[in-house]
Amino acid sequence: MLDFMRLLRSYGLAYKPIAQVCEVSWTTVLYHLSPKEHANKLKRERERCRTVSAQQYNTKRQKTKEYQKWMREYMHDRYHNDSEFRRKMIRANSGGRFAEK
């Protein structure tokens, strides 16, 4: 579909008509066909992630007793029934990373 969008753009069609033909949002077409817009979108997302992460670390949410109980049971069940998860937890708790690079 991306090649088709590029072909239509090479014929001189604007982003909105291309979007209508491909039945996608015009911002999707803009994102994929404009390198400058693509770079700006990635920059905005990186900034948003930094901001959201900072806000999450600065605020402490009170977890309900039901949620704590559910999470404890979920982690216990997953640890004992999912060998890959167990291996990752052991690696993370011994000073390594949870996710592999």
Would you say 64 and 72 are in contact if contact means Cβ atoms under 8 Å apart?
no
Which stretch of 28-37, 54-63, 79-88 has the lowest confidence by average pLDDT?
54-63
Do 57 and 87 fall within a single domain? no
Do 3 and 48 fall within a single domain? yes
- State which amino acid sits at residue 28: T
pLDDT grade, residue 46 (50/70/90)? confident
Taking only the tens place, the pLDDT of each residue in 67-78 is: 888 888 888 888
Do 73 and 40 fall within a single domain? no
The model's pTM = 0.45
CA 66 – CA 70 distance, rounded (Å): 6
Do 4 and 47 fall within a single domain? yes
pLDDT at 11: 92
Do 53 and 95 fall within a single domain? no
Number of domains in the chain: 2
Do 11 and 42 fall within a single domain? yes
Q: Give the range of the structural domain holding residue 9, as residue numbers without chain letter.
A: 1-61
With residue 58 as reference, give the H or E element that holds it. helix 35-58
pLDDT at 101: 58
